[in-house]
Homo-oligomer: A and B are copies of this chain.
Amino acid sequence: MIKVGIIGVGTVGTSVVKILQKNRDIITARAGKEIRPVFGVVKNLNRDRGVDIPLSDSVDDVLNDEEIDVVVELMGGVDDAFKVVKKALAKGKAVVTANKAMLAYHRYELQQSANRQPIGFEASVAGGIPIIKALREGLSANHIVSIKGIMNGTCNYMLTKMMSDGVEFDEILKEAQELGYAEADPSFDVGGYDAAHKLLILASIAYGIDAKPEDILIEGIENINSEDIFFANEFGYNIKLLTIAKKSGDSVELRVHPALIDKKEMIAKVDGVMNGVSVIGDCVGETMYYGPGAGGDATASSVIADLIDIARNGNNSPMLGFKKILKNDILKLKKADEIFTKYYIRLIVEDKIGVLSKISNILGKQNISIGSFLQKQSKDAKFATLLFSTHKCYEKDVQIAMKEIGECDFVKQKPAMIRIED
């Protein structure tokens, strides 16, 4: 039997306990031994969790219990959780965690802290989708060409609704909050930070690269409006908050931002609260993984899969996918202004002669050429909305052009830009 202590018995923790009990027979048959939740730690002992295991409000009750083989860390937060997990490892316990924020900062230290014990973290990325396992083990023969992920259900729900119903950001945010898909403070989700944490974990497994959230480009979906949705629908795109990892030569691009994607791509078909991750490998080509990225039971499915791996006597794959450090093959992080892609740009300008030529001039100076173009009359007849895409160009040049255009007196609103991922 494997005895499990759970630190943090909230939505996911409760599901872990209940599923271990409800599916005990089949889990035992698959794992070869029973996996029993024996203890839980909560902040507030007065709230009923609906689980029939002993609870305490002291982490030490789990850490010091020599009977407990595995600590499941579901407390959240970065540094406190890291301390708890390190202590558990020091005590010789295996660890399973769903804590993406902690891993975004401390995954390499954790890998070093483990003294042969397994550390499972399938639940930290894309909830119930076994993407860690697919990338680390299933695709291990491949140089990973790219990873494109839709890994925040809140954003995907909102963007899907905006695309289908044409509603504005603020309205759909309120609705998402009422449905429980968005937090009271939604900035962590809609700002792209949650997705970024997940991307960094996948990037380590794909590339062995140790990047922190501060090192990469992170943009949220707050500025997407109905004009952008209109353009996207008109030209056959969906708008998604995309996490992107891409290798070219000896460098890796890591970025999180809204992107226009061709509706025909498989990843563009991932709608609503669902998550999807498309991985291109140099041998396999494209594979895609789709499923629920959040929710108590779906996330618990991944937590328990890690527990079963441990019970089966370990998955001996290295935590972050590499057994040796790639000395001759260390990849560097590409700077954000070196991004080379297509762009969509939205401008609101005075509707008068000469404006378009001035804008074309500014773009031309930066070697930016226009692909598709759409001009719409604004409600206020004095102004026009210009929506256009560019051919491939450098981010640095786009930023310079956007700044210069923004300073023109005929431009009514700060220019907006969305990258296009083909």
- Cβ–Cβ contact A321 & B281, under 8 A: no
Residues of B contacting A316 in the complex (Cβ-Cβ under 8 angstroms): 312-316
A284-314 near B? 1/0 per residue, CB < 8 Å:
1111111110010110111111011100111
- Tell me whether A321 and B30 are in contact in the complex, defined as CB-CB below 8 angstroms, given that A284-B128, A285-B292 are known contacts: yes
- Cβ–Cβ contact A290 & B308, under 8 A: no
Residues of B contacting A377 in the complex (Cβ-Cβ under 8 angstroms): none
Interface of A is mostly: mixed
Interface residues on A, range: 35 or more
Query: Within the oligomer, what is the number of copies of this chain?
Result: 2
**Chain B, residue nearest A304 (CB):** B141
- Cβ–Cβ contact A308 & B137, under 8 A: yes
The docked-state distance in angstroms from the alpha carbon of A27 to that of B326 is 10
- Tell me whether A15 and B283 are in contact in the complex, defined as CB-CB below 8 angstroms, given that A130-B137, A305-B139 are known contacts: yes
The docked-state distance in angstroms from the alpha carbon of A325 to that of B25 is 11
The docked-state distance in angstroms from the alpha carbon of A312 to that of B325 is 15
- Cβ–Cβ contact A25 & B130, under 8 A: no
**Cβ-neighbour of A29 out of B30, B141, B315, B322 (below 8 A):** B322
Q: CB of A134 within 8 A of chain B?
A: yes
**Chain B, residue nearest A275 (CB):** B287
The docked-state distance in angstroms from the alpha carbon of A233 to that of B140 is 40
- Tell me whether A137 and B309 are in contact in the complex, defined as CB-CB below 8 angstroms, given that A269-B269, A286-B291, A298-B283 are known contacts: yes
Q: CB of A164 within 8 A of chain B?
A: no
How many whole Å from A127's CB to the nearest CB in chain B?
8
**Chain B, residue nearest A141 (CB):** B304
A-B contact pairs, 5 of them (CB 8 A): A29-B322, A130-B138, A140-B305, A281-B301, A290-B290
